[in-house]
Amino acid sequence: MLKQRVITALILLVVLLPALFAPVAWPFALLTLLMIGAAGWEWARLNGVAGGAAIGLGALLALACAAALWAGWAVTAPAWIWWVATLVWVLGGAWAMKAGPAGWPSVPKELRLALGILALWTAWLALANAKFAGINFILSIFCLVWAADIAAYFGGKTFGKRKLAPTISPGKSWEGVWSGMVGVLILAAAWLAIDRSHAVDSPSLYTRLNERHGLFGLGLIVIFLAAMSVVGDLIESLAKRAAGAKDSSNLLPGHGGVLDRIDALLPAFPLALAMSSI
């Protein structure tokens, strides 16, 4: 299993890094469009759609992303899209956490599918916009999610006592969440210092937030984004538990599916763009 994970991770890096650092936007947009389409297929399967219908839903999502690319929204999308995504994630996430795996199947299938497709579409659009904004900017959002996850893991292992959502993800603890928030605050402070002392291709998320909201506002927003990355993780776990699935698929040997790898990123990117657009 470890060997599979390492090989898959290396292949993903070989494919992703050239697209990310390409001087033009379309290779990254195309690669992430394919991944989001696969995630749409996985979401359909987790919510009771099988066979060709699930493939069709994934293809429809990819076409919706391609339409946004053709319309120029992959470069600069209307800011209201980020605020719609914020509303869906905050209100929908709160409801889903309250309902739990037992209540999830009671939501009409069409609504579950529509919300998932909307979340995936806005996430792809936010990724494309962040790439256009600059490497420093997009990496600062990626690293926020990764820092929150890593700090939460070690904080939970060391201090974890109170379960966060035992019916959804028994391994997560409140202490892990607080550790993740501390981790992103440290990351934000370090990134601000790097932005000030080194030439970068673009302002990071942290520099933008600091310029617009000050240090206190920056701190509150990165804590909020860290919390929402946990919500993204929990909602995917909730859907898997309700479906009786361990992974969203086996597309990525040793890692599960695409959704398993991007669940925490799905709310973080559009919400980061919403916060930096104020």
Sorted by where each begins, the domain ranges of the chain are 2-276
The span from the first CA to the last CA of the chain, in angstroms, equals 44
As a whole number of angstroms, the distance between CA 35 and CA 51 comes to 18
Is the model's pTM score more than 0.85?
A: yes
As a whole number of angstroms, the distance between CA 232 and CA 272 comes to 14
Take residue 158 and report the two structure tokens written for it.
């060391």
pLDDT along the chain (278 residues), means of 10: 72 85 83 92 93 93 91 90 94 88 90 94 94 94 95 92 89 94 97 92 95 96 96 94 90 86 95 93
Take residue 130 and report the two structure tokens written for it.
């962040």
Take residue 203 and report the two structure tokens written for it.
């302002």
CA neighbours within 13 Å on the CB side: how many for 217? Answer: 13
- Residue 1 has a pLDDT of 57
What is the 3 state secondary structure string of 158-207?
A: HHCCCEEECCCEEEEEHHHHHHHHHHHHHHHHHHHHHHHHCCCCCCCHHH
Phi/psi of residue 256, nearest 5 degrees: 90, -130
As a whole number of angstroms, the distance between CA 90 and CA 145 comes to 17
- Residue 117 has a pLDDT of 94
Length, in residues, of the chain? 278
As a whole number of angstroms, the distance between CA 210 and CA 65 comes to 31
- Residue 12 has a pLDDT of 82
- Residue 10 has a pLDDT of 84
Q: Residue 223: left (phi > 0), alpha (psi -120 to 50), or beta?
A: alpha
The H or E element containing residue 59 is helix 51-70
